[in-house]
Amino acid sequence: MRIHWQQLWRRDLPVLALCGLLALPSASPLEAQQAGRQGPKIQVVILEGQGALHRVGQRSKTPLVVRVEDENRRPLMGAAVQFTSPDSGPGVVFPNGARVYLLRTDRTGQVEVRGFRANGVQGKFEIEVEASYQGASAKATVVQINTAQTQTARRGLLSSRFLSIAGGVAVGAVLALVLTRSEETAQGPPIAITPGSPSVGGPQ
């Protein structure tokens, strides 16, 4: 029995098509993951809170304010911003009672955290800030310090030290003046010599 070539083609066409699909190069999982992460380039700008001092155990008076921007410095609304305090050592407790706090930027691209509290450990620490927007992400770090003295108290201490130094200098100047006058008094008043008019007489 003879089988025409057209019958063979029709019979083997699905098999050939499947072989062709298998022969096509496929994207690796890493390439697919990178393709899924493509999005606008963003950055996190720290506006307030860098280097802030907190009194241990008390609510901070300095808020955390950051802005999320694209590569053209335009603010991004709706970006997710996560603040993370250290697990141990110096740090803060956010208003939700945890060390992690999540917010979304407003139309100005900003988020603001108020009402967080310093824990009871003194020292320097870092708050990690991570923003994400349409598959893109960016990070920044805010350095802060927990101390037993607030920034105002430190300024007052420095002012008192300056006043003490200035007072010491003034007292020294007064003592030097008094000693100088005492020496002048001990030496007695200066003697003034007034020249008289010369007189000429005849021989005696």
* Chain mean pLDDT for the chain: 76
Supply the pLDDT for residue 31. 45
pLDDT tens string 175-185: 556 555 655 55
pLDDT tens string 106-120: 999 999 999 999 999
Say whether pLDDT at 95 is over 70: yes
- 192: confidence class by pLDDT, cuts 50, 70, 90: low
pLDDT tens string 5-47: 555 445 655 555 555 545 545 444 444 444 445 568 999 999 9
Write out the DSSP string of the chain. Answer: ----HHHHHHHHHHHHHHHHHHHS----HHHHHHHHT----EEEEEEE-TT-EEETTSB-SS-EEEEEEETTS-B-TT-EEEEE--SSSS-EE-TTSSSEEEEE--TTSEEEE-S-EE-S--EEEEEEEEEEETTEEEEEEEEEEEESS-HHHHHHHHHHHHHHHHHHHHHHHHHHHHHHHHHHHHT-PPPP------------
Bigger pLDDT: 160 or 137? Answer: 137
